[in-house]
Amino acid sequence: MAEENKNGVSIMNNDAHRLALEWIKQIITLSSGIIVLSATFITSIFKQLNWSIWILIISWVSLLLSIVYGLNTISVMIQSRIDQDDEWHSGCGRTYAKAAKLFFLAGISSFGIFALINFLITMNVY
């Protein structure tokens, strides 16, 4: 028998919930890892920091916002399970998940651009 929410509507497939939760956790983990590793090794990897540091800062801010929105998504998912309404995916939870995804893509893209620029500078191509 399918589990029902407080309104008597069948709760969405648990696999979809697990996949969504795993997806958000992966975004949070990757964003955190990129921030920590790049901050830890920035001086040893990039000997001469220049104007491109602003691209790295944009990347860090984007990844940090991705983490914040990812945590908000998980919070909404948990609250929907507590309330047994299963509507996290149609309200603010969906908005938070989309924001986490977009900020992650912006952060990873700007980090890649930063790395490419600094690689070209060190190779005296730029």
pLDDT at 126: 54
pLDDT tens per residue, range 41-66? 887 766 666 788 899 999 999 999 99
pLDDT tens per residue, range 68-110? 999 999 998 888 878 777 677 778 888 999 999 999 999 999 9
DSSP 8-state class, residue 12: P
pLDDT at 123: 84
| pTM for the full predicted model | 0.81
Q: Report angle CA 33, 35, 39 to the nearest 5 degrees.
A: 115
pLDDT of 6 over the 70 cut: no
Determine the average pLDDT of the residues in 16-23. 85
pLDDT at 100: 96
pLDDT at 78: 85
CB 34 within 8 A of CB 108: yes
pLDDT of 12 over the 80 cut: no
CA 70, CA 26: separation in Å to the nearest integer? 9
